[in-house]
Structure 1
Amino acid sequence: MSWGRERYQRGITYLDHAGATLYTHSQIHHFYQDLAENIYGNPHSANIASRLTHDTIEHVRYRILQHFNTSPEEYTVIFTSGSTAALKLVAESFQWTCTEPGGTSQFCYLTDNHTSVVGMRGLSVLVGALTVPVNHSEIYEDKNSLNKDNAMCKEENCHTPHLFCYPAQSNFSGTKYPLTWIRDIKSKKLYPFSKVPGKWYVLLDAASFVSTSPLDLSVHQADFIPISFYKIFGFPTGLGALLVKNKSVHMLKKRYFGGGTAASYLTGEDFYVPKQSLSDRFEDGTISFLDIIAINHGFDALDKFTGGMQNIMLHTFSLARYTYIILSGMCHANGAPVARIYSDNEFETPDAQGPIINLNVLDEEGGIVGYAKVDKLANLYNIHLRTGCFCNTGGCQQHLGISNEDVKMNLKAGHVCGDSLDLIDGRPTGSVRISFGYMSTFDDAQKFLKFILGCFVKQPVCFDKDTLSMLKTCGTMTRRDESWAGHRTDETTNKISSEIAAAQNSARIEIPRSQNSSDNQLKLVENQETSKLIDDSESFTLTNIYLYPIKSCAAVEVKKWPIGKHGLLYDRTWMIVNQNAVCLSQKQEPRLCLIHPHIDLEQGIMTISAEGMDPIVVPLKGEDRKEFSLQFCQTRVCGDRVKGLDCGKNVSKWISTFLGRQSFLIRQSSSFHRALKKQHTQVQDQALNESPCLSLVNEAQYLLINMASILRIKEQLLHRDGTSVSNSPEVLTTEELIHRFRANLVISALRPYEEDDWAEIGIDGVSFQVVGLCNRCQMICINQVNGKRSTEPLQILYSSRNRKMTFGVYLSHQLPAAAGHCATLTVGSQVCVRKEKRATPPPAVQ
């Protein structure tokens, strides 16, 4: 598989197949070859190209139904923009009733459903339908209460339609819910359906399930089945379908009509006749016909590389089962488990469990390691996983023990879906999810397990006494699964044992304190003074000043520099964007660090240089130049909308040539005001007269680091795992470490990390408020000399600071009020500090 070779050449371990699986090179190649060889026109026309499109689309519809072992006589395929759009279509069109004596329709759904299913209630309630959320444990309960709204509807003559929605596979935990529920619910054999007069229809959310498991619609005949094709093939995105059982077509009534859906209509009166075909009736406008054609090539790739969904299910389940057994039995040296796995079964059979493992990492004391920290460290190893609640609040609440009140309180604390606020009061707001796809390998599982060992187990790992015996007994699968997949138990167990031993020897991280250092700056000194507010100041020295004229490019070190309204004058005033106006950083393009800007204030120019390139000059006052006056650009920086000014074709060509990709240099418009982040303004001192303005920085005007903290990190790197300096895999000098952390101001203090407790500092008559701690990411692991990536110093920072990933503090300035005074910072100046202990960490630390 060509994609697989490319993936391993890049060192990628992709473990988010439940989010989106990956496409193959041949799939894309054959699709574009198809487009090159054929002309596909709008299917609503009648010319030759259009007929080709129409006939190809109809063939794809048939192939979809064939894939699910059904036919056009049984089901109809309605193309949508995705499974969410398919769910919305059902909610809008279902024939809800709320009339007497017919009774009231019920919209019932399993609480372990995707957000898009739960969101259907927003439409059902508009017509008076009753919303009934059900936990999976309640399905089999025997209760005798009747719903009052349906009391007048007698069973023998009641035809009130009700809709039950449940996932074939939970996108949170991978639990597979019984497909037999479809038959049992429709025949009213299960509670609460048995106690509700009327007729039940079943919507089976199959989007997660069908990515790795076969669905036989000739046996399990749900009425409505939404799917998304990128979950199956990886490409195309933005395309899904609703499969509708033909006998249930009458339950969907079309209200809106768009282009191509009407057999006839009038503009002057309310006259509209829909087309006869269900798909023609519901596919408003011109469907995404080229993407639909791509599905054909997706099926070809799936058949060529896998031999069918049954093989995919067995392959992915065996990987998940192996990973689950090792992970669930993995313990710290004190016997405490390394992970808490959220599942409803023990991965014994692919009939009950999909290839999804949901977990939180635990430290040796049983505390939860926040999912955002796990994600950052995984990025260092090029492991792609997913964190949070995965658009499944119900599943998250069920497994993590989060109450309704907790969700509301977390929202008040600033947590919203998709953010990195992973712990509140020590309790998790989400978790970590890994998932396997048909191109996943045993090596992917091993790399993830080694990552867990290397980053979160400080001492030699031990295993639960039953784990190895379980592996010896059943390998990675049950005996039945083993015969299906053709694995040999003894070979599997031997490989597991050797890999565990190798992981213990090579991936373990221990960080002992140095016993020989005599440098007082390298010793961790407890300071009782930091436990209370101190009004009298301590004095330190400003040792280095750096500015970064172009965001994510090389630093400019200066001895003396003026302050502007945004921070250091011209700091992060420019940025490089791609052809889509998206800001580039070293995370995506490490070679940015090899671009060196230089500011000449007297000449009013910035000179940009790089190895192998002739220098190019950019004026500092570009906005005043006539040729730039109309070339504005809208982009985003750290979630904020930014108005910028294109610096012209010449510099764009220069940067594009160096990076090997189309790029542009954008200057922040002087007329655009960007305020300090909200979470930082909450901890500012009242002395600030107005909200500080930001340049193109991520969070705040300045970033300050402490030389004593740098030296502490350096010491820990040199003595990692007890190795000597000469044996250290990457020896970082003090200067290199300083450049990794990309600060504006470097000061010399007495103790490592004492800056974390500072409230205010003063330099050269300028007062700076400390507005938060700087959360670090994998960018500090990029060598600023050559652009190469490593795992340090982020990994050592995490393991040595009690799982904190903060280093340095954010500052905002308060300029002197004297009119005409130009504030300047100078290396060697005294730094006055006021310290205080915070009762609770500021939001930036979370």
Structure 2
Amino acid sequence: MNLDDFDRCSRFESFKESWDHYGYGGDFEGMVLAEFSRIKGMTYLDHAGTTLFPESQIKGFFQDLCGSVYGNPHSHNPSSRLTHDTVEHVRYRILQHFNSSPEDYTVVFTAGCTAAIKLVAESFPWTPASSFCYLTDNHTSVVGIRGLTSPIGVASIPISPEEVEGRAGERTCPKVGNSQAPHLFCYPAQSNYSGKKYPLWHVKGIRSRELYPSCTREGQWFVLLDASNLVGCSPLDLQECPADFLPVSFYKMFGFPTGLGALIIRNECLDMLKKTYFGGGTAAAYLAGEDYYVPRFNIDGRFEDGTISFLDIIAVNHGFEALHRLTGGMERIQLHTFGLARHTYMMLSCLQHNNGQPVARLYCDTEYQDPSTQGPLLNFNLLDAHGDIVGYSKVQKLASLFNIQLRTGCFCNTGACQHYLGMSDQQVKANLQAGHVCGDDVDMIDGWPTGSVRVSFGYMSTFGDIQQLLRFVVDCFVQKPVRLDYIRLNRLHSASTCSAFVRHPQSPTRLQIPSPSGTGEGLEFSHMAVACSPTLRTSNCERTLSQIFIYPVKSCAAIEVTQWAVGPLGLLYDRLWMVVNINGVCLSQKQEPRLCLIQPSIHWACKELCLHATGMKPLSIPLEGNKQNPGVKVFQSKVCGDRVQSVDCGDEAADWISEFLGKPCRLIQQSPGFIRGMKRDHAKPVAGLSLVNEAQYLMINMASVKFLKEHINERQGPEAENLDIQQLIARFRANLVVMGAEPFEEDNWKHVVIGDLVFQVTFGVYLVRQHQLDLDHTSTLSVGCPVVPQSP
């Protein structure tokens, strides 16, 4: 077999045969290249987080700003009137987009979807007889309404999605509630966890008291429909689902502007909303010396405190222009993105290891057959050949190396996360006690996942994005040769016209993916095999320290030494400097590959750090210059989420770095006396760090690197370029290289003695020095020092 036998299922031609809604009828690939050139070489799959803006949208907005004068809309001069009229046009265009008009709905601009939800919570006329009801598959921003209602005695009623229709028609006897009590029911139009689209007719069903829980409680029922995850890729018709409150965020639709959203309110609900605080522009009249206040009569003026973000609102108009010009409308976007998600689901759910075990566990309620019930989003965890879950943090880090942008965790949706992962309330609480909090990288606790992986598509996503994602999964996580569950794939594909699949002769129910080299040994990629670590050896084999590297400037080239002083933060001067952009954000080789071409050197005689690069004169920086010049600018930056304090190295260094990289940058040095504490399991700091990522030292095993080199050479074949072992070592950017050990035995080391220094092993091969208080600069590490690992 050759690779075409597998590609028949996944190649673009077959995809187009089974899904003819890809693209928008023109030169789609050309449009993506022209409008989104900045993501060339990147696979962006986090559109549920934020989609991307096209270049023409920003250029149109720029030309608008350059050619117009927009004043504060609270004034009455011509420039202010222009702003007012433009903002009112945008309000109308938003309503038009959702097939409504000012006669039925009012647009109130907010700081985002969360701010819109908060506005409803603060303005709703709650009474002790009211109920706040919400689906458990709601974003945190919706569940958070409970923080406001619970203290005033409002009942909070969490409801599973199955209960809404499953318990429809129930009647409590005697009936519960007051016939005049206002109740609020909240549910997402589309789950931000699974992409499931909830029926929009539930809006009418709740209001008419035909669905649970409204059927069991008397009173007036109102519906907040969280549409933020839906409207990025799907149309929404307010004539068909007349929600009372519709919060949206515009960056989910256009990518720009951020920090701007809207609350779209059904006009019949306007009079019931109560607002106590009044800010600038919201008052028709008030007295400073008396408790007298009259709100503005128009609802948007009453609820938009202070000067609205009018330039961002004007940018929304250019967002609509670009969206319709490039795609033709939301219906086309829905079909385009759903087709990509559907194909990804089919391939990912049918991938198997060589032993027939599935590669992925998908968390969804549909089989991606209908765009009206499923959005363009996939949530899953990857599995190894034994059926064990691969932690999402590992997937995230490897995806970043492949320049694939995705999202991991629970996505601010604890209810859905618990449901799909099978986590009890007790487990969530226990995870917190174990140190796991929302948004961190603690992906497994006691063998149980704390979250998952999410990929989501946008209107500019391409079939190539799917190919890159699937290639990444097969490349890094699948035990070869890869198999496909052909029966399942054929069933999922049965509605399409692509039926020319080739069955593997030895497996009538699975298709074996052939090798590009035609060897028949399975589909082979330049794959980093994850080997099972052997147990710690008990032999007396001599292990020695064979190489020492320091990296004075983070992400720049290394200095190899044979002996080096050990300081309180690791090797002396290791990663004490770093390059930041004009916003003070650390730059790495992922953003700026040319950083690796900057070669540092340390001159002890003159106490200087020198930087060298081709075509540039050497740059000299005092090693202790920040101590001699206390008036230098202090920087606050972040490294791996930790805030670090640093000082600027001056304009000469900034000009040198900027000229070499071709963009404005600065060189900064960690502040003297500032020590960043490395924390383990969110407990007390166990070591002081410089500007390193994880720990004081990174150690690698020469035998493991050689094993990897041989494995890569075998997979690439005899005609491939033979990897140099030192080049491969350099890619790991390690401080310490150990020789004489078995491959991967370091995975089981808990402590290691190098010379007369004792280190603790954390996070696999990261080291921190024990007995920090006893450390001084007279301690050294030397090539040839014995390395003695200690068992747990």
| 1:592 positional shift | 1.2
Distance 2:695 2:119 in 1: 44
Distance 1:382 1:286 in 2: 40
Task: Quickly say closer, same or farther: Cα 1:361–1:691, change in 2 above 3 A.
Answer: closer
Task: Quickly say closer, same or farther: Cα 1:763–1:624, change in 2 above 3 A.
Answer: same
Structure 1, residues 425-463: CA drift from partner, whole Å, max 9, x if none? Answer: 222211111222222223322332333333333323333
Aligned pair 1:62/2:92, yes or no?
yes
Using the TM superposition, name which of 55-64 and 301-310 deviates more: 301-310
Structure 1, residues 503-561: CA drift from partner, whole Å, max 9, x if none? Answer: 863893389999xxxxxxx999765639xxxxxx8753222221111111111111222
Aligned pair 1:823/2:785, yes or no?
no
Equivalent residue in structure 2 for 1:577, among 580, 583, 595: 580
Equivalent residue in structure 2 for 1:773, among 757, 763, 767: 763
Task: Give the alignment of 1:351-750 within 5 angstroms.
Answer: 351-470=372-491, 473-475=494-496, 489-490=497-498, 493=499, 505=516, 508-509=523-524, 529=538, 540-626=543-629, 629-679=631-681, 692-720=687-715, 723-724=717-718, 727-728=719-720, 731-750=722-741
Q: What's 1:345 paired with? A: 366
Equivalent residue in structure 2 for 1:91, among 90, 97, 121: 121
Distance 1:454 1:345 in 2: 27
Task: Quickly say closer, same or farther: Cα 1:815–1:203, change in 2 above 3 A.
Answer: closer
Using the TM superposition, name which of 698-707 and 43-52 deviates more: 698-707
Distance 1:183 1:708 in 2: 67
Task: Quickly say closer, same or farther: Cα 1:680–1:568, change in 2 above 3 A.
Answer: farther
SS in 1 for 2:361: strand
Contact 1:331–1:462 under 8 Å retained in 2: yes
Distance 1:513 1:374 in 2: 13
Equivalent residue in structure 2 for 1:17, among 43, 47, 59: 47
- Supply the AA of the counterpart residue of 1:718: N
Q: What's 2:21 paired with? A: none
- Supply the AA of the counterpart residue of 2:709: K
Distance 2:772 2:413 in 1: 47
SS in 1 for 2:441: coil
| 1:174 positional shift | 1.0
Distance 2:67 2:426 in 1: 59
SS in 2 for 1:453: helix
Using the TM superposition, name which of 373-382 and 344-353 deviates more: 373-382
Task: Quickly say closer, same or farther: Cα 1:678–1:332, change in 2 above 3 A.
Answer: closer
Task: Quickly say closer, same or farther: Cα 1:319–1:640, change in 2 above 3 A.
Answer: closer
Structure 1, residues 50-103: CA drift from partner, whole Å, max 9, x if none? Answer: 1100000000000000111111010000000110000000001100011xxxxx
Task: Quickly say closer, same or farther: Cα 1:571–1:284, change in 2 above 3 A.
Answer: same
Aligned pair 1:756/2:747, yes or no?
yes
Task: Quickly say closer, same or farther: Cα 1:702–1:384, change in 2 above 3 A.
Answer: closer
- Supply the AA of the counterpart residue of 2:634: F
Using the TM superposition, name which of 193-202 and 133-142 deviates more: 133-142
| 1:368 positional shift | 1.6
- Supply the AA of the counterpart residue of 2:782: T
Contact 1:161–1:201 under 8 Å retained in 2: yes
| 1:3 positional shift | 4.4
Distance 1:312 1:386 in 2: 22
| 1:678 positional shift | 3.4
Distance 1:292 1:177 in 2: 29
Q: What's 2:790 paired with? A: 835
Structure 1, residues 656-692: CA drift from partner, whole Å, max 9, x if none? Answer: 100111111111121223223234977xxxxxxx954
| 1:715 positional shift | 2.3
| 1:152 positional shift | 6.6
Q: What's 2:206 paired with? A: 185
Contact 2:177–2:217 under 8 Å retained in 1: no
Equivalent residue in structure 2 for 1:116, among 132, 136, 141: 141
Structure 1, residues 812-837: CA drift from partner, whole Å, max 9, x if none? Answer: 1547959x982222222333x25113
Distance 1:147 1:96 in 2: 24
Distance 1:325 1:592 in 2: 41
Aligned residues: 750
Q: What's 1:301 paired with? A: 322
Contact 1:708–1:752 under 8 Å retained in 2: yes
Task: Give the alignment of 1:230-241 within 5 angstroms.
Answer: 230-241=251-262
| 1:134 positional shift | 0.2
Distance 2:485 2:49 in 1: 31
Equivalent residue in structure 1 for 2:164, among 139, 156, 179: 139
SS in 2 for 1:676: strand
Using the TM superposition, name which of 709-718 and 551-560 deviates more: 709-718
Distance 2:789 2:744 in 1: 15
Task: Quickly say closer, same or farther: Cα 1:753–1:447, change in 2 above 3 A.
Answer: closer
| 1:333 positional shift | 3.1
| 1:564 positional shift | 2.2
Aligned pair 1:326/2:326, yes or no?
no
Q: Which runs of 5+ in 2 are unaligned?
A: 1-29, 505-510
Q: Which runs of 5+ in 1 are unaligned?
A: 99-103, 476-488, 515-521, 531-536, 683-689, 775-807, 838-846
Task: Quickly say closer, same or farther: Cα 1:131–1:607, change in 2 above 3 A.
Answer: same
Contact 2:578–2:586 under 8 Å retained in 1: yes
Task: Quickly say closer, same or farther: Cα 1:451–1:545, change in 2 above 3 A.
Answer: closer
Contact 2:536–2:749 under 8 Å retained in 1: no
Q: TM-score, normalised by structure 2?
A: 0.89
Task: Quickly say closer, same or farther: Cα 1:501–1:2, change in 2 above 3 A.
Answer: farther
SS in 1 for 2:305: coil
Distance 1:71 1:611 in 2: 62
| 1:211 positional shift | 1.2
Distance 2:653 2:153 in 1: 61
- Supply the AA of the counterpart residue of 2:748: D
- Supply the AA of the counterpart residue of 1:119: G
Identity %: 53
Task: Quickly say closer, same or farther: Cα 1:696–1:332, change in 2 above 3 A.
Answer: closer
| 1:810 positional shift | 1.3
Contact 1:108–1:134 under 8 Å retained in 2: yes
Using the TM superposition, name which of 171-180 and 365-374 deviates more: 365-374
Contact 2:610–2:620 under 8 Å retained in 1: yes
Q: What's 1:198 paired with? A: 219
Contact 2:98–2:236 under 8 Å retained in 1: yes
Task: Quickly say closer, same or farther: Cα 1:460–1:558, change in 2 above 3 A.
Answer: closer
Task: Quickly say closer, same or farther: Cα 1:524–1:34, change in 2 above 3 A.
Answer: closer
Distance 2:609 2:761 in 1: 31
Task: Quickly say closer, same or farther: Cα 1:527–1:363, change in 2 above 3 A.
Answer: closer
Distance 2:601 2:245 in 1: 63
